[in-house]
Structure 1
Amino acid sequence: MSFSTPKNHNLNRGYTIALVSAATLSTTAIFVRHLTQTYQIPPLILAFWRDVFVVIALLPVLGLFKPALLKVKRQHLLYLIIYGLMLAIFNALWTMSVSLNGAAISNVLVYSSTGFTALLGWWLLNENLNWVKLLAVALSLAGSVLVSEALDPLAWRANITGIITGILSGLLYAIYSLMGRSASQRGLNPWSTLLFTFGFAAIFLLFFNLIPAGLLPGAAANPAELLWLGNNLAGWGFLLLLAAGPTVVGYGLYNVSLGYLPSSVANLILTLEPVFTVVVAYLLLDERLNCVQLGGGLMILIGVFILRIHESKLVNQSLPNPP
């Protein structure tokens, strides 16, 4: 006879939500790549409009179905503003990293966030960090390198600015993950958190784009460039899809998963994103996995599997023995 417990059920739910989040977020790079290559839109302008459209997409949905989520307590506003600032910096750095380094390098560097998150979670939030989790982190990071083909020397032909930008994007993503965990512990609803953080992030990114030309790479040279796409309806359509699809659903589900899982675990599961990206690229672009990429994907899956078994054992050990 098996015993289903609320704690174990929540753990299973957290893993499922995190996996769906990873699959959804995996399409983000496809949209960003299309927009930057087809329309040559500067990274910070793209990041700004992405955040704006996230708010535009969320407002009517929450207003119609959950109007109470459009409000937060005054005591949480400062935290959400800081959270939004971290998100704005991450979005700017990640979009710039894709532009400067290409998909392979930027993907690997942002997934250094797994290690950052585990260490910062242990340091700041007293989250457990044992050898099993460290092994899973190592497998996932190594697998991300292989899936992205970053061992190819040609892929590392990036300037020092690009490398630093990519590493910083990983660090900021780790901070975003930890702040999401903290927001959940504060009792903030994930969808309210998503709305307010992206709203504040859009304001910060607008400010970044209005800084005089030359001070921030990838920003608008003048206010008129904020309307970079002009009357190109197709370009605006892709921006809206980027916001309403992978961004709203992906980030929203990720925030929800943080209510069930430690941030390091949720972030580790998101290392499946490059695997999903390769699959989507194969289905849509007929790009095929080679043996190295298959090996990397397997390493990531093994890392997540090891962690899943370990966390389940910890849950079962914490339960009282049945009489």
Structure 2
Amino acid sequence: MNQAKGIWFAVLSACGFGAMPIFANYAYRAGGDVITVLTGRFLFAAIALWVIVWVRKLPVRIGKWAVVQCVLLGMLGYAVVSFCYFASLKYISASMTAILLYLYPAFVTVLSLLTRQEKWQARKGVALFCSFFGLLMIVGLSGGQINLLGVLLGGAAGLLYSFFILVNRQVGLGLPVLTMTAFLVTGAFLAFAAIGLLNRSIHPVMAPYGYLAILAISLFSTVLGIWLFSASIQLIGPANASIISMFEPVFTILLGYLLFAERMTPLQMAGALMILLSLFILQLKLPNRTGKNTHTEIS
């Protein structure tokens, strides 16, 4: 029973994360812009997360310097990654953005090897080959009209995500996932609120469904996604939960096709499958690890 529940939690979490770019596109169509959408996302998510932390009586007492570290990590890490990800949706499809973000495990592996945090293995070499050859198939060999700025933003989101994960590991405050995420989300909100107020880029006037889309991003794609994934780890372990989370970009591609008629060429689809294959190969090493999964570190 617990195993089945854990699997469903992981699947629903992947659906929540995978639906995020779809909700973002609806918010943009309603008249929202990147800064407005992200400010709303992190505002409502922060409120919801702190309520959960309070109701569940999770530990929050850490030193002042630790609080500063968490908030700065949210402002300079989480916020920047989110901006690149959401900005890329202005130029390329949600499907393409989701696939580019999922290059982050390969980037993490490369950076870990360069900084000698991990040792070289043949499996990692195969995964890196699949990942970057898949990217080449999507961007360089497809022959279609691809917006370079959108690809750069999507790729930057994956690369910066990997830096964020490595820094987050070093911070390692030993807090519960929800508490740590509450601090990070609060920092991200402060960053976007400050930017929006300073350059007057927050424009809350949009069609009503735009507000619903922002709420969906905040509650379903952020808070519920993190909560369900954390619960699935407790029930089925980080390795199984991580492998199931690979459904996330697949769900994005499916929704993009059904709701926005997004198309990928056969070569681009093959490239996407190569990237997913690389992710699967890298995730297979997780049973040898203890601790956190990358999704729980940022989500």
TM-score (norm 1): 0.69
Q: State how far apart, in whole Å, the 2-side matches of 1:239 and 1:67 are.
A: 27
2:187 corresponds to which residue? 200
Q: Please list the CA deviations of residues 257-288 of structure 1 after superposition, one character each: whole Å capped at 9, or x if unmatched.
A: 999769xx96x986653222223445666778
1:245 partnered with 2:194: no
Provide closer, same or farther for how the CA distance between residues 307 and 154 of structure 1 changes in structure 2, counting only shifts above 3 A: closer
1:130 partnered with 2:121: yes
- The DSSP-based 3-state class of the residue aligned with 1:177 is helix
1:318 corresponds to which residue? none
Provide closer, same or farther for how the CA distance between residues 256 and 151 of structure 1 changes in structure 2, counting only shifts above 3 A: farther
* Amino acid aligned to 1:68: L
Query: 1:245 Cα deviation (Å)?
Result: 0.5
Query: 1:248 Cα deviation (Å)?
Result: 1.6
* Amino acid aligned to 1:97: S
Return 5+ residue gaps in structure 2 as ranges.
1-5, 290-299
Residue pair 1:108, 1:145 contacting (<8 A) in 2 also = no
Match 1:29 to one of 2, 9, 21: 21
Q: State how far apart, in whole Å, the 2-side matches of 1:140 and 1:58 are.
A: 34
Q: Which moved more, 1:93-102 or 1:48-57?
A: 93-102
Q: Please list the CA deviations of residues 58-91 of structure 1 after superposition, one character each: whole Å capped at 9, or x if unmatched.
A: 2333322x1234x230242122022111111111
Larger Rg: 1
What root-mean-square deviation, in Å, do the aligned CA atoms of Structure 1 and Structure 2 show?
A: 3.9
1:82 partnered with 2:59: no
Match 2:174 to one of 187, 206, 229: 187
Query: 1:244 Cα deviation (Å)?
Result: 0.4
Q: Please list the CA deviations of residues 131-154 of structure 1 after superposition, one character each: whole Å capped at 9, or x if unmatched.
A: 2023124324545676x7885433
Q: Please list the CA deviations of residues 10-57 of structure 1 after superposition, one character each: whole Å capped at 9, or x if unmatched.
A: xxxx99987664443111111011111x22311111111111111122
* Amino acid aligned to 2:79: A
Match 1:55 to one of 3, 24, 46: 46
Residue pair 2:31, 2:205 contacting (<8 A) in 1 also = no
Provide closer, same or farther for how the CA distance between residues 276 and 46 of structure 1 changes in structure 2, counting only shifts above 3 A: same
Q: State how far apart, in whole Å, the 1-side matches of 2:23 and 2:271 are.
A: 24
- The DSSP-based 3-state class of the residue aligned with 1:87 is helix
* Amino acid aligned to 2:274: M
2:211 corresponds to which residue? 236
Q: Which moved more, 1:239-248 or 1:286-295?
A: 286-295
1:72 corresponds to which residue? 61
* Amino acid aligned to 1:193: M
* Amino acid aligned to 2:126: L
Q: State how far apart, in whole Å, the 2-side matches of 1:135 and 1:295 are.
A: 16
Q: Which moved more, 1:203-212 or 1:46-55?
A: 203-212
Query: 1:298 Cα deviation (Å)?
Result: 4.6
Provide closer, same or farther for how the CA distance between residues 254 and 241 of structure 1 changes in structure 2, counting only shifts above 3 A: same
* Amino acid aligned to 1:24: G
* Amino acid aligned to 1:178: L
Provide closer, same or farther for how the CA distance between residues 249 and 115 of structure 1 changes in structure 2, counting only shifts above 3 A: same
Structure ranking higher on relative contact order (CA contacts 8 Å, 6+ apart): 2
Match 1:116 to one of 107, 129, 132: 107
Q: Percent identity?
A: 23
Q: How does 1:1-323 map to 2 (within 5 A)?
A: 21-36=13-28, 38-64=29-55, 66-69=56-59, 71-74=60-63, 75-85=65-75, 86-103=77-94, 105-124=96-115, 126-143=117-134, 151-159=141-149, 162-182=150-170, 185-212=172-199, 220=201, 225-229=202-206, 232-252=207-227, 272-282=247-257, 291-292=266-267, 295-296=270-271, 298-300=273-275, 302-307=277-282
TM-score (norm 2): 0.74
Count, aligned residues: 280
Return 5+ residue gaps in structure 1 as ranges.
1-13, 214-219, 316-323
Q: State how far apart, in whole Å, the 1-side matches of 2:110 and 2:233 are.
A: 17
Q: Which moved more, 1:74-83 or 1:252-261?
A: 252-261
Provide closer, same or farther for how the CA distance between residues 309 and 83 of structure 1 changes in structure 2, counting only shifts above 3 A: closer
Q: State how far apart, in whole Å, the 1-side matches of 2:256 and 2:126 are.
A: 29
Q: State how far apart, in whole Å, the 1-side matches of 2:102 and 2:128 are.
A: 10
- The DSSP-based 3-state class of the residue aligned with 1:126 is coil
